[in-house]
């Protein structure tokens, strides 16, 4: 009996071992049927636990022509160039002393009887500004002396003409003619002095000739002054634009009247302030700690980028002038604790007519704020892109290379970035000549993330750059 029990136990153990071995060898067939949900969840969890970059997530986004139009997408080839790092400095446009403004003073004491030009009017040199009725007794006396001297000269000349034949015959001594010649020279010198005095008082040469003949002047005109021969600020050329095309620009603009009609003025009193904003200064303001950078820029003659902050579509032509620091002030303002430096600015103008008068418009006006970008560091052999062409994700930076309607995301190394530009190293990561999107990098990166790296998911881009799934609002 004992032997029979042993045999039965051995047979049972053998059967169990065989069943276990068969189940293990066929586990791929029956195990999914027993626990299908648990296995699928584990597989999904395993997929989501991996980094997309580690599993080779596609780095390409597909944009339809409509989406590219909504983004106003522009692609340009990469080109290695030189870039200057700059520091921003505030500035303001100011008048250039002895060039922009010019005062006109009363040449004599008198009363203002007429005003010919008013603030905003434009005039040329020699055109009248005021009429003055003379009140100066000295000026009236000078006119009388000129007339009297002129008549004495005529009398002396007639006397010499009568005595000349008699002197040749010996009837009168020759010393008499010499005395008359000396008198003529004295009278001529006196007449020239009187003429010069009247000329400096604002009399015209025809008026002085009339005074010499006995026609005295009781009223004079004060005219716009003539420019100096080397005064380039009174150039007559204008900028021709699509809106306005003038043959020549007026020289002066009446900026401010200092007298009124009927007012008595004294000789040397300021009557009007004329302006010509052809030549101006840009005044920059920097702090004491920025002195070495400003001094180096001035010493090296580096150009300064000026941001005028103008409205687009103003109709003015492109400014082709280059700017450099002319001089630096050697004093510090006690209120702002800043020092000034100056850049010459050649202005642009255009004119228009209203009510029969020609009015002048200047592109840049004193008091206008600007922003200066002072060069401080040079980067050679780099790629320079607009700030909107690069998107950042933590420490990583990317650009999007255009390939038809597809845009591949490419990692780059950023050397420097400011408000407007991003400087990328030309280290072989992306070669020159690749067409890279110049804007919309952040929007395309959001599309890429929303699609999970797939170019087949249904998303669209609105005109404001926002991204929505098809069928959603």
Looking at residue 68, what is its pLDDT?
A: 87
pLDDT of 371 strictly over 90 = yes
- Residues 281 and 366 grouped into a single domain: yes
Kindly report, residue by residue over 176-231, the tens digit of the pLDDT.
788 888 889 999 999 999 999 888 888 888 989 999 998 898 898 999 988 766 55
pLDDT at position 8 is 67
CATH number at residue 444: 2.40.420.20
The residue among 377, 397, 423 that closes a domain is: 377
Tokens of 367: 């008091």
Q: How many residues does the chain have?
A: 473
* Residues 315 and 294 reside in one and the same domain: yes
* Per-residue pLDDT at 132 exceeds 80: yes
Per-residue pLDDT, 140 = 87
55 lies in some domain: no
Query: 248 with 207, same domain?
Result: yes
Q: 278 exposed, middle or buried (CB, 10 Å; 0-12, 13-18, 19+)?
A: buried
Report the C-alpha gap between 196 and 460 in whole angstroms: 85
Report which of 134, 307, 292 is spatially closest to residue 217, judged by C-alpha positions.
134
Domain finish residue from 323, 356, 377:
377
Domain tally, the chain: 4
Q: Quick check: is 53 in a domain?
A: no
Whether 200 is in a domain gets the answer yes
- Using N-to-C axis directions, what is the helix angle for 205-212 and 174-200, rounded to 10°? 140
Quote the domain boundaries for residue 18.
Answer: 2-48
pLDDT of residue 231: 57
| Distances, alpha carbon 228 to alpha carbons 53, 125, 144, in Å | 74, 11, 33
Q: Over 60: is that where the pLDDT of 16 sits? A: yes
Shared domain check, 145 and 164: yes
Q: Cα-atom radius of gyration of the chain, to the nearest Å?
A: 46
Q: In this model, does residue 2 exceed pLDDT 70?
A: no
Looking at per-residue pLDDT, the higher value among 40 and 113 belongs to: 113
Which ranges of 301-357 would DSSP assign to H, the alpha helix? none
CATH number at 349 reads 2.40.30.170
Run of H or E residues at 397: strand 396-403
**Domain match, 153 and 217 both:** yes
In a domain, 10, yes or no: yes
Do 251 and 153 share a domain, yes or no?
yes
Q: How far apart are CA 81 and CA 382, in angstroms?
A: 5
- Give residue-wise pLDDT tens across range 53-106: 444 555 888 888 888 888 899 999 999 999 999 999 999 999 998 888 899 999
Token pair for residue 404? 């038809």
Handedness of CA 79, 80, 84, 85 (dihedral sign): positive
Is 54 part of a structural domain of the chain? no
Mark whether 234 and 258 lie in a shared domain: yes
Q: Are 265 and 286 in the same domain?
A: no
Closest CA relative to residue 404, chosen from 153, 101, 63: 63
283 and 237 within one domain: no
Verify that 305 and 168 share a domain, yes or no.
no
So what's the pLDDT on residue 466?
Answer: 53
Q: Which of 324, 359, 377 is the last residue of a domain?
A: 377
Q: Are residues 218 and 253 in the same domain?
A: yes
Tell me, what's the pLDDT at 173? 76
Residues 227 and 280 in one domain: no
Cβ burial, residue 97 (10 Å; 0-12/13-18/19+): exposed
| DSSP state string for 231-299 | -GGG-------SS---S---SEEEEEE---TT-EE-TT-EEEEEE-TTEEEEEEEEEGGGHHHHHHHHH
């Amino acid at each position: 009996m004992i032997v029979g029990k042993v045999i039965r136990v051995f047979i049972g153990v053998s059967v169990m071992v065989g069943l276990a071995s068969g189940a293990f060898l066929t586990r791929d067939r029956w195990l999914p049927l027993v626990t299908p949900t648990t296995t699928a969840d584990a597989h999904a969890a395993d997929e989501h636990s991996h980094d997309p970059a580690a599993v080779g997530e596609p780095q390409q986004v597909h944009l339809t022509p409509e989406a590219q139009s909504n983004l106003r997408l522009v692609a340009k080839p990469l080109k290695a160039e030189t870039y200057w790092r700059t520091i921003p400095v505030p500035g303001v446009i100011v008048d250039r002393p002895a060039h922009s403004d010019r005062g006109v003073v009363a040449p004599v004491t008198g009363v203002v009887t007429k005003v010919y030009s008013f603030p905003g009017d434009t005039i040329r040199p020699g055109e009248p500004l005021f009429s003055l009725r003379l009140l100066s007794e000295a000026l009236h006396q000078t006119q009388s002396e000129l007339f009297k001297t002129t008549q004495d000269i005529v009398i002396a000349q007639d006397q010499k003409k009568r005595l000349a034949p008699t002197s040749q015959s010996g009837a009168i001594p020759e010393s008499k003619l010499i005395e008359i010649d000396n008198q003529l020279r004295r009278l001529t010198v006196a007449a020239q002095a009187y003429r010069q005095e009247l000329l400096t008082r604002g009399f015209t040469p025809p008026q002085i000739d009339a005074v010499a003949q006995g026609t005295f002047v009781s009223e004079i005109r004060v005219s716009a002054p003539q420019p100096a021969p080397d005064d380039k600020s009174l150039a007559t050329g204008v900028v021709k634009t699509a809106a306005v095309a003038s043959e020549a620009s007026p020289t002066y603009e009446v900026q401010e009247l200092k007298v009124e009609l009927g007012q008595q003025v004294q000789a040397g009193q300021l009557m009007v302030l004329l302006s010509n904003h052809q030549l101006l200064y840009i005044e920059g303001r920097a702090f004491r700690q920025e002195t070495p950078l400003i001094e180096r820029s001035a010493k090296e003659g580096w150009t300064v980028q000026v941001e005028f902050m103008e409205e687009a579509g103003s109709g003015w032509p492109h400014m082709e002038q280059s700017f450099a620091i002319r001089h630096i002030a050697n004093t510090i303002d006690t209120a702002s604790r800043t020092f000034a430096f100056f850049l010459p600015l050649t202005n642009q103008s255009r004119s228009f007519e209203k009510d029969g008068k020609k009015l002048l418009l200047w592109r840049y006006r004193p008091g206008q704020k600007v922003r200066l970008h002072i060069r401080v560091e040079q980067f050679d052999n780099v790629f320079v892109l607009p700030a909107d062409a690069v998107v950042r994700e933590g420490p990583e930076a990317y650009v999007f290379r255009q390939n038809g309607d597809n845009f591949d995301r490419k990692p780059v190394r950023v050397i420097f970035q400011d408000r407007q530009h991003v400087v990328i190293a030309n280290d072989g990561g992306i070669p020159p000549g690749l067409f890279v999107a110049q804007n919309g990098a952040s929007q395309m990166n959001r599309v890429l993330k929303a699609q999970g790296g797939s170019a087949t998911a249904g998303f669209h881009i609105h005109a404001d750059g926002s991204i929505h799934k098809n069928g959603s609002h």
